[in-house]
A and B are shown apart, each in its own frame.
Chain A
Amino acid sequence: MKVPVAPPRRLVEVEIDGRSVRVPEGSTILQACRAEGIETPTICYAENLTPVNVCRVCVVEVEGARALVPACSRTVEPGMKVRTDTERVRRSRRLVLEFLASSVDLSLAPDLHRWQEVYEAHPERFGALMEPAAEGERDGREPGRHVPVEPGTAETVAQPVKIDNDLYVRDYARCVLCYRCVEACGDDAQGTYAIAVAGRGFDARISTEFAVPLPESACVYCGNCIGVCPTGALMFKTEHDLRREGRWDEARQTVTTTVCPYCGVGCNLELHVQDGEIVKVTSPADHDVTSGHLCIKGRFGFTFTRA
């Protein structure tokens, strides 16, 4: 249980979809919507990270604003009039989902499948998907130049998975560039700064310096990037291998919550166990010790259980 330390906040009255809503001052539109039970899709937003408002799937209409505004980061103002279900909002959300589904492999992002149905997205209308890029080709793309694809095909981020260490893999064909991993690696959790966004435009990508393999980078293998990845682009090597062998089966898995045995901090661990073996370790994002983040020992130091 968290002990409230902040003084109680003043309430602000706003109007959402015609309903009058009172929320604490400083709340975001998203928080206000959720308090009202209005379902709002999000991709880049995570409760344990600073909002970067880049995916734009949570956009809403605010009276007086020319463009739509991201609900995840815009704070409410007294008298603000918000609409979350107008034609403009629905169209933008649908297009954002279509853009992502037509350029990124979302097969491990079930939430996004559901949202695509809700918003009637048809990503196939942009044409046949382009052949995956050769290994490393996307890492070498230069800003300000591109080769247009054959008419009729749609450009994608498809590329081979990066496997350069024993602990986790990076499958950037699944990357929606939500910046979450960069935040978790940097300011918001780990302070390691091993990865950042490189390149520009559609060729922007998550990268180490000069795309060097992780063992040559500053990575400390805390795995916090995996913990926040919404699309399965970052994944435990154990999970990746089981999936490749067709043996990954969440229905057969149990999740056991325990406390990390390595030091005295008291991090909560969720051990995902399949066939008597730990296959993945997570921590709850709302846990007040970890906020979902762990270190290399808690995240990956479980192989002794097999000894």
Chain B
Amino acid sequence: MSASPSDVERAAVDAVLGPPGDGDGRVVRGGREVRGRRHLLLPALRALQARAGWVSPGGLAYVSERLGVPPAEAYGVASFYAMLSTRPRPPAVLHLCEDLACRLAGAEELAAELERLHGPEGEDRDGRTWLRSPCLGLCERAPAALAVHAGERPREVACAPLGQTELAAFLAGGDVDGGVGPAPISAPQTADPEGWASLVLLRRVGRVDPGSLDDYRAHGGYEALRTAVALGPQGVIRELKDAKLLGRGGAAFPTGLKWELVAQQPVRPHYVVANADESEPGTFKDRVLMEHDPFALIEALTIAGFTAGAERGYVYLRGEYPHAFEALERAVAAARARGFLGPDVMGAGFAFDIEIRRGAGAYIAGEETALFNSIEGRRAEPRNKPPFPATHGLFGKPTVINNVETLVNVLEVLRVGGPAYAEVGTAESTGTRLFCVSGDVGRPGVYEVPCGTHLAELLTLAGGVRGGGRPKAVLLGGAAGAFVGPEDLELPLSFESAREAGVTLGSGVVMVFGEGADLVDAVLRIAAFFRDESCGQCVPCRVGTVRQEEALRRLASGRTLGTREDELALLADVAQVMRDASICGLGQTAANAVWSAISRLGVFG
């Protein structure tokens, strides 16, 4: 198909890809050199979206030509991500979070208000519109929205809490205020001198200037990297093993073993990747870390690169985190300017640099192999495992991929040493953990507690259930996690206790549902979420998430096919095939929270 880009679209793409080789843009060279730049596809599509408000046929054709990507494949990628639009979209869009924590804080009322004042979702009025969005990771300040302005000076502003005033301001053509929330709101422990003393991962949050490398160093920054260089890669791995550090992204894989496996691979190059695609509904801990202490992630990833023998690291950041992106981008530039990244890091004789890649609205891109595909310029579809990332990761090479919180833990391991680190927490779950407490609690926010802390203690720390009393339910681990009831509040928050109780801590979500909360609504939302976020690759998940939502809607509406028991049996079948036969963790966990609500809480009982 032949469509031509406008001049502004061409310029936006050239700003990412560099000017076309021959000067006048009429001749495009092909071959391996051009195709080898396919990994720039998503950045180029993002640039089109930011400039023009959508990915037009002309813009897509130009990107395809520049990168040697077949247009059909480029369209397949563009149409995969929710933040990219392949149809004209007004330049100003308010993405209103309709996910769990924001629902508890009145998101549906705001949606109704928007519908009343503006009109239906997606309707263009004076170049503005609004759209519903899955969790924006601003749950501590719910209800939340993200204002995205396309144009010559594209802007993205997080807006939370979103009130009537902000909403009216946006519709009136103004800007919404927002951005990074104050540290004491996002991480309440940082405001309290007594609580602060016990903090490890959040120690610098709110105390350090996120824009200043000097301030970071004044707060102990880059000491861990020095220690790592002194210990050597083998020494770092030994400390991590002594620390018994387990991954915080959900799968709890031993970090030391992961790094060692990659370090041992003879194939080169190696890569290290920080998984900052924090998209699990109810999760916002990594965002708070990156916005308030970005150098910590940069330093930790540098240590990973040094240890695993990688010269290049990527931070894959979820597209809905503009302020974390700004903080990280500044931090990377500062570190590079001062020799903490580059051909000879700290004069220690090793090369390492970091590139930040932004997602574009796809929960599945947080699955590690889908994330690799996303960076490589392909649809973020998970790969079948084996082979595992340690041997066949990014660009098919040995790759360390860790969650942001896991990486930041490495700094502490090196600060105090592995054995001392392991003294905190329980025997199997060492160290501290970040929990994202949201919903009906007094002080929502990120809380850092030693592994093994009881759920009730954590809730007390967060100001207890809003309005007093006991919660109706607590969602642990997010949409892929499980509900527990008020009788489970004594649960110790450790990997082993969670496993025993048949729940998961996942990414540290602790979402509280108070007495008045509508659990049926929450379950329906979770089902809709998975239906929206399935990549569509494998049958069990692609169709299973649809059939699950349909059955739940029938139960909720009372219009069941057969008896209630028939419907529950059908749901059990659907859950089983998704768990057993899906390619990746999304499908395998898509029924967890739904089933826990049915079996533990008696929703639809």
A177–B561 contact, CB under 8 A? no
Would you call A76 an interface residue if the criterion is a C-beta within 8 Å of the partner chain's C-beta atoms?
no
A78-112: CB near B (< 8 Å → 1, else 0) gives: 00000000001001100110011011000000000
A204–B70 contact, CB under 8 A? no
Would you call B313 an interface residue if the criterion is a C-beta within 8 Å of the partner chain's C-beta atoms?
no
Whole-angstrom distance between the alpha carbons of A74 and B386 in the complex?
8
Whole-angstrom distance between the alpha carbons of A202 and B535 in the complex?
8
B532–A95 contact, CB under 8 A? no
Whole-angstrom distance between the alpha carbons of A95 and B550 in the complex?
16
A195–B574 contact, CB under 8 A? no
B384–A208 contact, CB under 8 A? no
Whole-angstrom distance between the alpha carbons of A92 and B75 in the complex?
32
| Nearest chain B CB to A57 CB, angstrom units | 7
**How many B residues face the partner with a CB closer than 8 A?**
63
Whole-angstrom distance between the alpha carbons of A294 and B434 in the complex?
58
| Nearest chain A CB to B411 CB, angstrom units | 32
Whole-angstrom distance between the alpha carbons of A149 and B547 in the complex?
11
B537–A91 contact, CB under 8 A? no
| Nearest chain B CB to A234 CB, angstrom units | 15
B345-381: CB near A (< 8 Å → 1, else 0) gives: 0000000000000000110000000000000000100
A143–B1 contact, CB under 8 A? no
Whole-angstrom distance between the alpha carbons of A12 and B131 in the complex?
55
Q: Could you count the A-B residue pairs with CB atoms below 8 Å apart for me: how many are there?
A: 202
Would you call B5 an interface residue if the criterion is a C-beta within 8 Å of the partner chain's C-beta atoms?
no
CB contacts under 8 Å to B, within A183-203, are: 186, 193-203
| Nearest chain A CB to B365 CB, angstrom units | 11
B75–A146 contact, CB under 8 A? no
Chain A residues closer than 8 Å to B72, beta-carbon distance = 193-196, 198, 207-209, 217-218
Chain B residues closer than 8 Å to A198, beta-carbon distance = 72, 75-76, 79-80
Would you call B570 an interface residue if the criterion is a C-beta within 8 Å of the partner chain's C-beta atoms?
yes
Chain B residues closer than 8 Å to A210, beta-carbon distance = 1, 57, 60, 75, 86
Q: Which of A56, A57, A125, A197 contacts B570 (CB 8 A)?
A: A125
Q: Which of B61, B64, B134, B535 contacts A201 (CB 8 A)?
A: B535
Q: Known: A143-B362, A200-B534, A209-B75. Contact between A56 and B582, CB under 8 A?
A: yes
B155-186: CB near A (< 8 Å → 1, else 0) gives: 00000000000000000000000000000000
Would you call B85 an interface residue if the criterion is a C-beta within 8 Å of the partner chain's C-beta atoms?
yes
From A2-10, A65-73, A267-275, give the one contacting chain B. A65-73
* A95, A148, A152, A216 pick with most chain B CB within 10 angstroms: A95
A92–B580 contact, CB under 8 A? yes
Q: Known: A154-B547, A193-B72, A201-B532. Contact between A54 and B573, CB under 8 A?
A: no
CB contacts under 8 Å to A, within B510-568, are: 528, 531-540, 542-547, 549-550, 553-554, 557, 559, 561
| Nearest chain B CB to A108 CB, angstrom units | 18
Whole-angstrom distance between the alpha carbons of A194 and B74 in the complex?
11
Would you call B577 an interface residue if the criterion is a C-beta within 8 Å of the partner chain's C-beta atoms?
yes
Whole-angstrom distance between the alpha carbons of A95 and B73 in the complex?
30
Would you call B583 an interface residue if the criterion is a C-beta within 8 Å of the partner chain's C-beta atoms?
yes
| Nearest chain B CB to A224 CB, angstrom units | 15
Would you call B330 an interface residue if the criterion is a C-beta within 8 Å of the partner chain's C-beta atoms?
no
**How many A residues face the partner with a CB closer than 8 A?**
59
Whole-angstrom distance between the alpha carbons of A59 and B60 in the complex?
38
Would you call A151 an interface residue if the criterion is a C-beta within 8 Å of the partner chain's C-beta atoms?
yes
Would you call B82 an interface residue if the criterion is a C-beta within 8 Å of the partner chain's C-beta atoms?
yes
Whole-angstrom distance between the alpha carbons of A195 and B424 in the complex?
54
Would you call A225 an interface residue if the criterion is a C-beta within 8 Å of the partner chain's C-beta atoms?
no
Would you call A140 an interface residue if the criterion is a C-beta within 8 Å of the partner chain's C-beta atoms?
yes
Whole-angstrom distance between the alpha carbons of A250 and B109 in the complex?
60
Would you call A171 an interface residue if the criterion is a C-beta within 8 Å of the partner chain's C-beta atoms?
no
B361–A144 contact, CB under 8 A? yes
Chain A residues closer than 8 Å to B86, beta-carbon distance = 142, 210
* A56, A59, A146 pick with most chain B CB within 10 angstroms: A56
Chain A residues closer than 8 Å to B28, beta-carbon distance = none
CB closest residue in chain A, given B551? A126
B75–A103 contact, CB under 8 A? no
Would you call A29 an interface residue if the criterion is a C-beta within 8 Å of the partner chain's C-beta atoms?
no
A143–B81 contact, CB under 8 A? yes
Q: Which of A67, A149, A195 contacts B581 (CB 8 A)?
A: A67
A129-158: CB near B (< 8 Å → 1, else 0) gives: 000000000001011111011011111000
CB closest residue in chain A, given B585? A67
Whole-angstrom distance between the alpha carbons of A74 and B546 in the complex?
28
B550–A154 contact, CB under 8 A? yes
Would you call B438 an interface residue if the criterion is a C-beta within 8 Å of the partner chain's C-beta atoms?
no
Would you call A212 an interface residue if the criterion is a C-beta within 8 Å of the partner chain's C-beta atoms?
yes
Chain A residues closer than 8 Å to B87, beta-carbon distance = 140, 142
Q: Which of A54, A88, A155 contacts B580 (CB 8 A)?
A: A88
A148–B384 contact, CB under 8 A? no
Would you call B141 an interface residue if the criterion is a C-beta within 8 Å of the partner chain's C-beta atoms?
no
B577–A96 contact, CB under 8 A? yes
Would you call B588 an interface residue if the criterion is a C-beta within 8 Å of the partner chain's C-beta atoms?
yes
Would you call A53 an interface residue if the criterion is a C-beta within 8 Å of the partner chain's C-beta atoms?
yes
Q: Known: A54-B538, A196-B72. Contact between A209 and B580, CB under 8 A?
A: no
Whole-angstrom distance between the alpha carbons of A212 and B60 in the complex?
13
B1–A217 contact, CB under 8 A? yes
| Nearest chain A CB to B555 CB, angstrom units | 9
CB closest residue in chain A, given B537? A54
Would you call A281 an interface residue if the criterion is a C-beta within 8 Å of the partner chain's C-beta atoms?
no
Chain A residues closer than 8 Å to B533, beta-carbon distance = 144, 200-201
Q: Which of A95, A143, A151, A193 contacts B559 (CB 8 A)?
A: A151
| Nearest chain A CB to B124 CB, angstrom units | 15
Would you call B285 an interface residue if the criterion is a C-beta within 8 Å of the partner chain's C-beta atoms?
no
Would you call A55 an interface residue if the criterion is a C-beta within 8 Å of the partner chain's C-beta atoms?
yes
Whole-angstrom distance between the alpha carbons of A22 and B492 in the complex?
49
| Nearest chain B CB to A237 CB, angstrom units | 21
A53–B384 contact, CB under 8 A? yes
Chain A residues closer than 8 Å to B531, beta-carbon distance = 146, 201-202
Chain A residues closer than 8 Å to B265, beta-carbon distance = none
Would you call B454 an interface residue if the criterion is a C-beta within 8 Å of the partner chain's C-beta atoms?
no
Would you call A261 an interface residue if the criterion is a C-beta within 8 Å of the partner chain's C-beta atoms?
no
CB contacts under 8 Å to A, within B114-148, are: 131-134
Chain B residues closer than 8 Å to A203, beta-carbon distance = 536
Q: Known: A202-B545, A204-B535. Contact between A197 and B379, CB under 8 A?
A: yes
Chain A residues closer than 8 Å to B538, beta-carbon distance = 53-56
Would you call B287 an interface residue if the criterion is a C-beta within 8 Å of the partner chain's C-beta atoms?
no
CB closest residue in chain A, given B89? A142
Q: What 7 pairs between A and B have smallest CB-CB spacing? A: A204-B536, A144-B82, A193-B70, A99-B543, A95-B577, A196-B76, A209-B71
Chain B interfacial positions (CB closer than 8 Å to A):
1, 57, 60-61, 64, 70-76, 79-82, 85-87, 131-134, 361-362, 379, 384, 386, 528, 531-540, 542-547, 549-550, 553-554, 557, 559, 561, 570, 573-574, 576-577, 579-583, 588
Chain A interfacial positions (CB closer than 8 Å to B):
53-57, 59, 67-68, 70, 73-74, 88, 91-92, 95-96, 99-100, 102-103, 125-127, 140, 142-146, 148-149, 151-155, 176-177, 186, 193-204, 207-210, 212, 216-218
22 CB-based A-B contacts, threshold 8 Å: A92-B580, A95-B581, A96-B540, A102-B547, A142-B82, A143-B532, A144-B532, A144-B533, A146-B532, A148-B553, A152-B554, A154-B547, A197-B536, A198-B72, A198-B80, A199-B80, A200-B80, A200-B532, A200-B535, A201-B533, A212-B1, A217-B72
A56-B538, A95-B581 known, 10 other contacts, Cβ within 8 Å: A54-B537, A54-B538, A56-B540, A56-B582, A91-B580, A143-B532, A151-B553, A198-B79, A200-B80, A207-B75
